[in-house]
Amino acid sequence: MSILVVGTVAFDSIETPFGSAERILGGSASYFALGASFFAPVRIVGVIGQDFPQEYLELFSQRQIDLEGIKKASGDTFHWRGRYHEDINVRDTLELHLNVLSGFVPDLPERYRDAEYVFLGNIDPLMQLEVLNQIRRMRLVVCDTMDHWIRESLDGLRQVLKRIEMLVVNDSEARLLSGESNIVRAARAILKMGPKVVLVKRGEYGVLQFSDSSIFATPAYPLEEVFDPTGAGDSFAGGFLGQLARSGDLTQQGIRRAIVYGTVVASFTVEDFGVKRLASIAMQDIEERYRSFAQLTDFHT
Amino acid sequence: MSILVVGTVAFDSIETPFGSAERILGGSASYFALGASFFAPVRIVGVIGQDFPQEYLELFSQRQIDLEGIKKASGDTFHWRGRYHEDINVRDTLELHLNVLSGFVPDLPERYRDAEYVFLGNIDPLMQLEVLNQIRRMRLVVCDTMDHWIRESLDGLRQVLKRIEMLVVNDSEARLLSGESNIVRAARAILKMGPKVVLVKRGEYGVLQFSDSSIFATPAYPLEEVFDPTGAGDSFAGGFLGQLARSGDLTQQGIRRAIVYGTVVASFTVEDFGVKRLASIAMQDIEERYRSFAQLTDFHT
């Protein structure tokens, strides 16, 4: 049950109230792939520049992540620089260099084209459509997006929404896409645009999941230390889709458990800079925190 | 197992994006008492003015709420006027007339002085202490406060904290009281000030509960319509302490279930202006939504 992810592989330069880091491994595909790799084999489709260090590629390889779909283009790697406020939920983008990402057209290796579980990371909806067009058959497609694409590429995004099963957005993206300020109404409006399931990520407040027949609400894992929220959403998606691929259980209960696994993976991500924490844990740590999470949300017994 | 509440009984004048209401029944003791009255007998200690309508008192009486502790003073009733923003989580206080509340000294009727479950609503900590001094024996004291008292009456509040079992605050009050921006650390710091349990209310995002040995996290009940958030926190406390009094179960699991009952009561409160919705539901509605809540947060089976 392998997972295909298309998204960015990037350099991130990050300042938080607790410190800073320069040109560390970042990007939606990186966080997703590392998060999902605990659960199932992962294949990445993306682009890097000539300046991308071998060391970062090795980090993927150590996790058995398939890199055949990563194209090395001439030029520099996509680079994002951001700063988090005292209120760690708020961040500013200071610099954004698309570099090799501009003009990138995904071209899936032949053996990637029978994909079962697909994650369309936060990239141009036209690029997401291109990926969908190259896949011959798939069981489940989960898609992420952001305010920029909702504003600038709504037609493309609407086409994508008709062809996916699940959309992952945050509160403000759900409001922007639907035009509804109440989050329940916002999600219901988005369900009408195509996806069978809408996941609303609320950072430290948890996740809401909507389908036509069910709502699921879960808090986040309460943490004493949040060093760097970068990649929380993408590694959440990685843990989520990873668990779905591992279990093959697409029932409502299976989806709920996958959301909790995603929540647990994201809780590790934010405990250190970049992918540092994700790179240091094992599946056993995830299972342990999953049990602890089940315990700290339980009021049934 | 009766419950004693001391707090405000007030007129609220409210504007929300969905409408407005003039001089409707409000105040912390009112919302608390109505919320708790589904679960156990409630006694109110508070003050009203000559202008307080009989009709509002009858609303309490219909719920078997004991009004002997409500003093009718010469002057006008406490009156709050507020406006909610488009983002319904944000509100401005437009007017605040203390009226008969200024100079009020609680004087508990003799038969109130053997109280078992006590809720100290959001009033001056010195008034909260006065109530504690008049009670001969009690099983459980839950206390609320607000940023104003944390800033202006911290010494009194610190004395209160040494004499109560549980504190109910929101995110920003917890941060202000502790000086910690991370909410888990903030709660741990407050536990050191006296209370055995700290409940952090996060509005539409749910509740966190902290004790030395346990953390409990729960989302709020997702609602399609939030008309008026006024009284959500106090009616939460009412449902919470009401359930503790009804069950007598002060174990961690009992406290967790009580938090969910509080969450359910608060979810009804915000569905209409003022106490309108609270006044129209029955215990059966609460039990039904409790079951629905258990279902929409469950990922164990």
Considering only CA atoms, give the Rg of chain A.
18
Among candidate residues B253, B295, B237, the one with its CA nearest the CA of residue A298: B253
Is residue A155 annotated as a catalytic residue, yes or no?
A: no
> Measuring CA to CA, how many Å separate A214 from each of A182, A197, A204, A208, B286?
17, 9, 23, 11, 20
- Beta-sheet strand order (sheet of B215-218): B70-72, B42-48, B3-6, B117-120, B140-144, B166-170, B197-201, B207-211, B215-218
If you average pLDDT over residues B201-223, what whole number do you get? 96
pLDDT digits (tens, 9 = 90+) for A161-205: 999 999 999 999 999 999 999 999 999 999 999 999 999 999 999
First to last CA, chain A: 35
Chain B nearest-CA residue for A224: B184
Categorize the per-residue pLDDT at A103 as very low, low, confident or very high, splitting at 50, 70 and 90. Answer: confident
Supply A174's token pair.
Answer: 């759900």
User: How far from chain centre, in Å, is Cα A100?
Assistant: 21
Domains, chain A:
3-296 (3.40.1190.20)
Query: Over the range A125-159, which residues count as b (16 or more CB within 10 Å of their CB) and which as e?
Result: bebbbbbbebbeebebbbbbbbeebbeebeebbeb
pLDDT digits (tens, 9 = 90+) for B245-286: 999 999 999 999 999 999 999 999 999 999 999 999 999 999
Distance from CA of B46 to the nearest CA of A (A): 34
B143, B120 Cβ separation under 8 angstroms: yes
Dihedral, CA of residue B183, residue B185, residue B186 and residue B189, to nearest 10: 160
| B274/A34 Cα distance (integer angstroms) | 49
> Cβ contacts (< 8 Å) between B298 and chain A: which residues?
256, 300
pLDDT of residue A236: 98
pLDDT digits (tens, 9 = 90+) for A233-290: 999 999 999 999 999 999 999 999 999 999 999 999 999 999 999 999 999 999 999 9
Task: Name which of B299, B300, B301 to mutate to probe chain A: the one with the most chain A Cβ atoms within 10 A of its Cβ.
Answer: B299
**Nearest neighbour of A218 by CB, restricted to B86, B219, B226:** B219
Categorize the per-residue pLDDT at A87 as very low, low, confident or very high, splitting at 50, 70 and 90. Answer: confident
Can you list the alpha helix ranges (DSSP code H) found in chain B? 28-36, 54-62, 125-134, 147-152, 154-162, 171-178, 183-191, 232-247, 252-269, 276-280, 283-296
pLDDT of residue A284: 98
Chain B nearest-CA residue for A185: B224
Name the average pLDDT for chain B.
96
| B73/B103 Cα distance (integer angstroms) | 11
pLDDT digits (tens, 9 = 90+) for A134-146: 999 889 999 999 9
Beta bridge partners of B26: B10
Range in A31-35, A86-90, B26-30, B234-238 with the lowest mean pLDDT: A86-90
pLDDT of residue A42: 98
| A108/A91 Cα distance (integer angstroms) | 33
Name the average pLDDT for chain A.
96
Chain B nearest-CA residue for A253: B299
Range in A85-99, B141-155, B237-251 with the lowest mean pLDDT: A85-99
| B197/B209 Cα distance (integer angstroms) | 7
**Nearest neighbour of B222 by CB, restricted to A217, A226, A260:** A217
Other Cβ atoms closer than 10 A to B114? 12
**Nearest neighbour of B216 by CB, restricted to A206, A214, A296:** A296
CB B206 to CB A184 under 8 A? no
> Cβ contacts (< 8 Å) between A201 and chain B: which residues?
none
Chain A nearest-CA residue for B255: A299
CB B294 to CB A296 under 8 A? no
Considering B12, B144, B228, B234, which one is annotated as catalytic?
Answer: B234
Question: Do the interacting molecules here have an ipTM over 0.90?
Answer: yes
Among candidate residues A207, A206, A209, A189, the one with its CA nearest the CA of residue A198: A209
pLDDT digits (tens, 9 = 90+) for B150-203: 999 999 999 999 999 999 999 999 999 999 999 999 999 999 999 999 999 999
Distance from CA of B97 to the nearest CA of A (A): 32
Number of A–B residue contacts, CB under 8 Å: 97
If you average pLDDT over residues B88-114, what whole number do you get? 93
Residue B127, C-beta contacts closer than 8 angstroms, at least 6 positions apart: B6, B104, B105, B106
> Cβ contacts (< 8 Å) between B223 and chain A: which residues?
182, 184
**Nearest neighbour of A205 by CB, restricted to B205, B296, B299:** B205
pLDDT of residue B47: 97
In this model, does residue B300 exceed pLDDT 80?
A: no
CB A296 to CB B214 under 8 A? yes
Distance from CA of B26 to the nearest CA of A (A): 25
Categorize the per-residue pLDDT at A89 as very low, low, confident or very high, splitting at 50, 70 and 90. Answer: confident
Q: Token match 């938090």: residue? A: B259
Considering A234, A272, A285, A298, which one is annotated as catalytic?
Answer: A234
CB A224 to CB B297 under 8 A? no
Name every residue in B having a CB less than 8 A away from some CB of A: 86-88, 181-185, 188, 202, 204-206, 208, 214-226, 253, 256-257, 259-260, 294, 296-301
Chain B nearest-CA residue for A215: B296
pLDDT digits (tens, 9 = 90+) for B34-79: 999 999 999 999 999 999 999 999 999 999 999 999 999 999 999 9
CB B218 to CB A299 under 8 A? yes
**Nearest neighbour of A223 by CB, restricted to B86, B184, B301:** B184
pLDDT of residue A210: 98
| B35/B275 Cα distance (integer angstroms) | 9
CB A253 to CB B299 under 8 A? yes
In this model, does residue B301 exceed pLDDT 80?
A: no
> Cβ contacts (< 8 Å) between B297 and chain A: which residues?
216-218, 297
Backbone angles phi, psi at A166, to 5 degrees: -135, 140
Task: Name which of A170, A227, A299, A301 to mutate to probe chain B: the one with the most chain B Cβ atoms within 10 A of its Cβ.
Answer: A299
pLDDT of residue A101: 94
> Cβ contacts (< 8 Å) between A174 and chain B: which residues?
none
pLDDT of residue B87: 83
In this model, does residue A48 exceed pLDDT 60?
A: yes
Q: Token match 């569905």: residue? A: B271
SS (H, E, C) chain A: CCEEEECCCEEEEEEECCEEEEEEEECHHHHHHHHHCCCCCEEEEEEECCCCCHHHHHHHHHCCCECCCEEECCCCCCEEEEEECCCCCCEEEEEEECHHHCCCCCCCCHHHCECCEEEECCCCHHHHHHHHHHCCECCEEEEECCHHHHHHCHHHHHHHHHCCCEEEEEHHHHHHHHCCCCHHHHHHHHHCCCCCEEEEECHHHCEEEEECCCEEEECCCCCCCCCCCCCHHHHHHHHHHHHHHHHCCCCHHHHHHHHHHHHHHHHHHCCCCCCHHHHHCCHHHHHHHHHHHHHHCCCCC
Report the residue count for chain A. Answer: 301
Categorize the per-residue pLDDT at A86 as very low, low, confident or very high, splitting at 50, 70 and 90. Answer: confident
> Cβ contacts (< 8 Å) between B257 and chain A: which residues?
299
The percent of residues above 90 in pLDDT, for chain A, comes to 95
> Measuring CA to CA, how many Å separate A285 from each of A58, A218, B147?
22, 20, 39
A175, A183 Cβ separation under 8 angstroms: yes
CB A216 to CB B296 under 8 A? yes
Helix (H, G, I), strand (E, B) or coil at B166: strand
Single-letter amino acid code for the residue at B196:
K
In this model, does residue B81 exceed pLDDT 70?
A: yes
pLDDT of residue B1: 78
pLDDT digits (tens, 9 = 90+) for A220-230: 999 998 999 99
Supply A250's token pair.
Answer: 């697409």
Query: Over the range A218-228, which residues count as b (16 or more CB within 10 Å of their CB) and which as e?
Result: bbbbbbeebbb
